[in-house]
Amino acid sequence: MSFILGLTGSIGMGKSTTAQMFVDEGCALWDADAAVHRLYAPGGAAVAPMAEAFPEAVVEGGIDRGALKRAIAADPGALKRIEAIVHPLVGADRQAFLAEATADIVVLDIPLLYEGGSERMMDAVAVVSVPPELQRERVMARGTMSETQFGAILAKQMPDAEKRARADYVIVTDTLDHARAQVRDVVADIRRKSADA
């Protein structure tokens, strides 16, 4: 039986980089965002039900995220309908991954883990974190969003301080070396506890 570690953190905290560090330590990784990309790709399980609800979002046999963003901007109820279609499919993708996983530690990378109540299915949760000024600097350096868009994303996410308070492990990603050392400590701690159980 694998130990299930939830991995979460707000935008710009270094979650994707940290997730890869867990893989480097021999953990299996399931990524919620990657699952959505698979579901939206041509032939993906979300394409047919989404095409029925949002025909304008289908481009070249897959779901166009830009078109979905426009649908959400035009209709406040659209997001709820999208979530009603996609969330069960993401859950099924995660369950299929867990059923196949053979690693002793399985990391589930879920951006809105606490917001969606997913912590209940985890054996432990690790939160990635950096000070707010470094977070902002990282997000703005990507050049993909405005201050307003960044603010809107932050408003939808549980505050970092609350996530850190609720987490079993906090990984500060101020430098790659520091983050990697903490990931190794988390993995060692879980393996030690599992061996003692």
Residues 6+ apart with CB under 8 A from 85: 46, 49, 50, 53
Please give the pLDDT value at position 43.
Answer: 94
What pLDDT, on the 0 to 100 scale, is given for residue 23? 98
Contacts (Cβ under 8 Å, ≥6 apart) of 160: 9, 10, 13, 127, 129, 132, 135
Residue type, 95: Q
pLDDT band at 152 (very low <50, low <70, confident <90, very high): confident
What's residue 196's pLDDT? 84
CATH superfamily entry for domain 1-27+106-197 = P-loop containing nucleotide triphosphate hydrolases (3.40.50.300)
Residue 197 has pLDDT above 90, yes or no: no
Per residue in 36-63, pLDDT tens? 999 999 999 999 999 999 999 999 999 9
The pLDDT score that the predictor gives to residue 1 is 83
Architecture of the domain whose range is 31-102: 3-Layer(aba) Sandwich (3.40)
pTM of the model: 0.90
pLDDT tens-place string over residues 156-193? 889 999 999 999 999 999 999 999 999 999 999 999 99
User: Which of 122, 154, 123 minimizes the C-alpha distance to 12?
Assistant: 154
Q: With 90 as the cut, is the pLDDT of residue 28 above it?
A: yes
d(CA 155, CA 144): 18
CATH 3.40.50.300 domain locations along the chain? 1-27+106-197, 31-102
Q: Is the pLDDT of residue 155 over 90?
A: no
- When pLDDT is averaged across residues 60-67 and rounded to a whole number, the result is 92
pLDDT in tens, 112-146: 899 989 999 999 999 999 999 999 999 999 988 88
Residue 153 confidence (pLDDT): 86
